Amino acid sequence: MRSSIYVGSVVHERLRPKRHRLSYRVFALLLDLSEIDRLDRGLRLFSRGRFNLFSFHDADHGDRSGEAIDAHVRRLLAEGGIDTGGGPIRLLAYPRILGYVFNPLSVYFCYDARERLCATLYEVSNTFGERHSYLLRVERDDGTIAQSATKQLCVSPFNGLGGDYRFRIRPPDQDVTVGILYRDADGPLLKAHFQGRRRVSPSRTRR
């Protein structure tokens, strides 16, 4: 089982017009999409598509078409011309807790059959229920991966649509880091990052 829990902190920082910073403790799940049903069967407090203390619902991700999330991501990979050879896809996101969840950013790590990271899919959601995905090819994995994308979705009513995102990640291992910097026409405006450390795999807590 490659699915894991990562415990750490999230930092949000606004750089202008007045600098403001906040930090809080969180945990996130790294879910291998091929293992979610096994976790559902094996864990008393985790379910797929049903109410529980912790749960995963496919409708919380993807395009809300009813398509299973694994099929959705593989379709986007094929449309983007990225061949993973059926390798694993692992999603770093928050679970529903007692039925409630909000994932402003979910990250899919897409590997080939030899466990080489081929692509990342950044799924951005806003409080209006809108969602947009940025599929980016991984050309080189030197431990830290830097990528960028033009902003396509308004996330905050205080920021316009122009600008771009700069992503900087360290893929999940014993630790994981996901950093994002938003730049508009006047330069860097917002940055956020999650740093987490891997804890015991959820597969060790059985029904």
pLDDT tens, residue by residue, 101-111: 999 999 999 99
**What are the Cα distances from residue 194, in Å, to 23, 26, 55?**
10, 9, 21
pLDDT at 207: 47
What CATH number should be reported for the domain holding residue 181?
2.40.128
Predicted confidence at residue 157, as pLDDT, reads 56
Split into its structural domains, the chain has a count of 1
Task: Return the beta strands (E) in 96-163 as ranges.
Answer: 96-97, 105-111, 117-125, 131-137, 145-150
Cβ of 138: how many Cβ atoms within 10 Å? 18
Query: pLDDT per position in the chain (207 positions), as tens?
Result: 899 999 999 999 999 888 999 999 999 999 999 999 999 999 999 999 999 999 999 999 988 777 889 999 999 999 999 999 999 999 999 999 999 999 999 999 999 999 999 999 999 998 888 899 999 999 887 889 999 999 988 776 556 678 899 999 999 999 999 999 999 988 999 999 999 999 965 544 444
The residue segments making up the domain with residue 144 are: 4-204
144: number of Cβ within 10 Å? 11
pTM (2 decimals)?
Answer: 0.92
CA atoms within 13 Å, Cβ hemisphere of 121: 26
Look at residue 206 in the predicted model and tell me its pLDDT.
Answer: 47
Position 23 scores a pLDDT of 97
Identify the pLDDT of residue 201: 58
